[in-house]
Structure 1
Amino acid sequence: MTTATDDIELFAVQPRVSLEDYASAATFATRHRELAARVDALRARDASGQPRHPALAVWPEAIGAALLFQGHVPAVRAKTSFEGAVKRVAIAEALDVWRAWSTHHPPTLRECVYAARAALVHRTLWETFSSIARDFNLWVVAGSALLPASRRSPDTPDFEPHGARTYNTSYTFSPDGRCVAATRKVNLVPTQEDVLHLSPGRPEDLTVLQTPFGRLGTLIGYDARARPHTREEPWFVPCAQYLDALGMDILAHPSSASAFDRDDTGKPHHEPGHGADHQAQLGALKRVRYVVSSQAVGKVLGTSLAAPSSLLERTPSGAVRVLAQASSPQDEDVLHATVPHP
């Protein structure tokens, strides 16, 4: 439990990831509980040792994507692409992949693998972050993973795919360990996520949660951007403005940036934008007070991840203030700020 307070604590978790983190459910859980312990060590406490303020911790986008490879890390370690690793798992799990195809008839091999592995991916992600939220008394936005819709409620470790359309999905957990929201990414990054055969979420399904520290919304990666990267995306939805209009006070922003991303001019960019660009977007909003933007760093299957996490505040005057920013886009970090209730 937490003591009565007018302040909240915000944490952006910036893990350094490697393929070995995904060898099993146990290794994944151990890795992220270590990070949660770092969060816990930074929290303010009262005389009895209880956390003084409610706290929100955000993990980065796609932190659960490589959970597809549980049990197959030695076999996929030499692969240099996500596609190659998925094909290797498809061979190893041929019977389950065939069952997924015969049940859901997805048009691509990737979607067969996503559906075949969905129950395992969901359970590992759910059990890891549900226990972190409960054991460390945190509100947790658990990054994201690639998952179909489920016939069951998200507030259970059990999972039954409802078709094979697969979404970049984020779960939010309350301090009692309940999964209180599932968010699907609406805007897929051209040439990156569309080639993964993902489906876009619907903007009308985005919601804000009432929490003890205000109204919380989650936008995954590109969805926090005000404008598309390229001129070839007429379907782009400015999701941050949409949730701002719904009264969002705090934006949880799990994100993931490849060091080699390029926009349509050939210049490097980080998805969905950070630094001055990210601050300008926040300044244009009307209601949002804080943004917790978490990035992963490291390298998995040939993809390098490099962008700094940040904590931002939009002041009453509309100016944007950096509360904290990772000192390096290559090193593991946990950002922390204690701020007034919005």
Structure 2
Amino acid sequence: MKTAKKVFLFCGVAILILLGVYMLWANTGVGSNANQNFGLEAAESFGDSTDKGNLLGIQAFMEPIDYASEENFSKKLRFYLIEAQKKHWLIPNKTIVVFPEYIGTWLVAMHEKESLYKSPKIEEGLQTMVARNAGKFLKTYLNAPDDVKDKVKYSVFAMKAPQIAQVYEQVFSSLAKEFRVTIVAGSVLLPEPKVTNGVLTAGKGQLYNTSAIFEANGDISPELVKKAFPTADELGFVCPVKPETIPVFKTPIGKMGVLICADAWFAAAYEGLKQRGVDFVITPSYSSGYGYWNKPWEGYSGAETPEDAAADVKKITLAEAWVKYAMGTRAKTEANVRKGINVFLQGKLWDLGAEGSTIVLSDSAHATKYGGKPALINVWL
């Protein structure tokens, strides 16, 4: 009996020591004092200045350090708005500012160990983040919906959802109010998101690629945009919605439709927009990888390529396909809309890659030539 007690005591002490070492490791070296990079390499405006208002695309160039804290995230986005203000492209109550898809998703990296922000590879960085948040990760994993195929990715992006939702809302709300503009806040991955009493909250359940709209007084719109057609990379952990649920927003400068990235490729996504007579279409996007923008297009991602586009597979570039088969053309042909903007995320986010260049619909459609660069693209209505 004495021997057994000694063994149990030894094991208990060992567990406490290991737990102490783990807690020490998990709570030291958190955050980073590294300098953020601020710069603007390109700016272009389309159309003539009018009193009708304008669409301003923020082709943001993001790096891991920009997500180390709420302060860093806010400072980086605010920089672009200040630059736009200098160009007189922020008109109080008459400017729609558009940020790219996934701009808020990497807030999952907030308040993590400094090694995460320095890691060259996303897999290594996420392994460290999961180890530091082992309890949250395991709880989220065990409670993931049964029909989620990739529960690891689901858990990585869902485990810190309440904090992400809070910071995402606070930052964009403050910027919208400060500059007195409407902001289409790119997108963020959240489980069962909703707006309750004017506050964005994350629930429990399926993960959605979600965009929120912030009005010029800082209020968040009660309606959220959720992606209807996830790409192949998202299908394992992002839940789709029916395209007819995509809302239309009344803004000070007209009715606005927002289609998150791949949604802009599908005719079904435009049906509701046409019925409700939208005046312009906004598309926040993210195109992963490097070097694909000017390579032969491989067809639709995550869905069968429709007949009207199949003939161009591997015959035109990805850039050309975005212009010909997404918002730049379908907004006109499917919804009779002649103004719009499609903004892509840029940056060095570990080894993920981010490319693509803003596509402008101003009567005619074309892609700008600023892929890989922080840029501002303005479209006058």
**TM-score, reference length from structure 1:** 0.80
Residues in 2 aligned to 1:252 and 1:71: alpha-carbon distance in whole angstroms:
32
- Among 6, 15, 22, the alignment partner of 2:67 is 22
CA RMSD across the alignment: 2.7
Structure 1 residue 204 corresponds to structure 2 residue 249: no
CA distance in 2, matches of 1:101, 1:160: 16
Which of the residues 123, 137, 149 maps onto 2:192? 149
Cα distance change of structure 1 residues 79 and 238 upon mapping to structure 2, 3 Å threshold: farther
TM-score normalized by the length of structure 2 = 0.73
Which of residues 218, 238, 242 is equivalent to 2:268? 238
Which of 298, 301, 311 is residue 347 of structure 2 equivalent to? 298
Out of 262, 266, 275, the position equivalent to 2:323 is: 275
State the 1:276 CA deviation: 4.2
Cα distance in 2 between the residues matched to 1:22 and 1:274: 29
Match of 1:251 in 2: 281
Match of 1:234 in 2: none
- Secondary structure, in 3 states, of the residue corresponding to 1:38? helix
Q: Secondary structure at the match of 1:127?
A: helix
**How far apart, in 2, do the equivalents of 1:267 and 1:59 lie?**
30
Deviation at 1:84, TM superposition (A): 4.8
Q: 1:64 to 1:160 in 2, by over 3 A?
A: closer
Residue 36 of structure 2: aligned partner: none
Query: What secondary structure, in the 3-state scheme, does the structure 1 residue paired with 2:136 have?
Result: helix
Give the deviation of 1:277 after TM superposition.
Answer: 4.2
Matching residue of 1:232: none
Aligned to 1:98: 138
Runs of 4+ that moved beyond 4 A: 101-107, 264-273
Residue 311 (structure 1) shift: 2.6
In the superposition, relative to structure 1, how do residues 201 and 271 fare at CA in structure 2: closer, same or farther (>3 Å)?
farther
CA distance in 1 between counterparts of 2:261 and 2:371 reads 16
- After superposition, the Cα gap between the structure-2 partners of 1:273 and 1:52, relative to the gap in structure 1 and judged at 3 Å, is same
Query: Which stretch of structure 1 is more off in the superposition, 327-336 or 83-92?
Result: 83-92
Alignment of 1:155-170 (within 5 A): 155-156=198-199, 159-163=201-205, 165-170=206-211
What is the deviation of 1:92?
Answer: 0.9
Question: What SS does structure 2 have at the residue aligned with 1:7?
Answer: coil
**Residues 59-86 of structure 1: CA deviation (Å, up to 9, x unaligned):** 00111121111122633342523x5544
Offset at residue 216 of structure 1 (A) = 0.8
Instruction: Letter of the 2:185 partner, please give it.
Output: A
Matches within 5 A, 1:257-336: 257-258=287-288, 259-261=290-292, 263-264=298-299, 270=318, 273-278=321-326, 279-314=328-363, 320-321=364-365, 326-336=368-378
Give the Cα–Cα distance (whole angstroms) in 2 for the partners of residues 53 and 250 of structure 1: 16
User: Following the alignment from structure 2 to structure 1, what is the Cα–Cα distance between the partners of residues 94 and 102?
Assistant: 25
Relative to structure 1, the CA distance from residue 52 to residue 99 in structure 2 (aligned partners, 3 Å threshold; closer, same or farther) is closer
Look up the equivalent residue of 1:90 and give its one-letter code: V
Match of 2:172 in 1: 129
- Residue by residue over 1:319-342, the C-alpha shift from the partner in whole angstroms, topping out at 9 and shown as x without a partner, is x255xx543212111111322xxx
> CA distance change for structure 1 residues 54 and 246 in 2, over 3 Å: closer, same or farther?
same
> Which residue identity does 2:284 align to in structure 1?
P
Deviation at 1:11, TM superposition (A): 0.3
Match for 1:194: what amino acid?
L
Q: How far apart are the structure 2 equivalents of 1:298 and 1:246?
A: 36
Unaligned runs of 5+ in 2: 1-49, 300-312
Amino acid at match of 1:42: K
In structure 2, do the counterparts of structure 1 residues 125 and 41 end up closer, same or farther at CA, with 3 Å as the change threshold? same
Match of 2:256 in 1: 216
Change in 2 beyond 3 A, CA 1:240/1:271: farther
* Inter-CA distance 136–86: structure 2 relative to 1 (3 Å threshold): same
Identity percentage over the alignment? 21
Give the Å deviation of 1:9.
1.5
Q: Deviations over 1:248-276 (max 9, x none)?
A: 21111101112355625567864894334
Pair 1:154–1:254, CA change in 2 (3 A) = farther
Mapped contact 1:57–1:139 kept (Cα < 8 A): yes
- Aligned partners of 1:321 and 1:187: how far apart in 2? 23
Distance 1:95 1:75, change over 3 A: same
Give the structure with higher Rg (CA).
2
Moved more, 260-269 or 108-117: 260-269
Q: Pick closer, same or farther for the CA change 1:73–1:334 going to 2, 3 Å.
A: farther
Note if contact 1:295-1:307 (Cα within 8 Å) is conserved in structure 2.
Answer: yes
Moved more, 17-26 or 325-334: 325-334
Bigger helix share? 2
Distance across 1 between alignment mates of 2:145 and 2:265: 34
Local SS of the residue matching 2:82: helix
Q: Which amino acid aligns with 1:95?
A: G
Q: Distance in 2 between matches of 1:84 and 1:260?
A: 23
Distance 2:315 2:353 in 1: 17
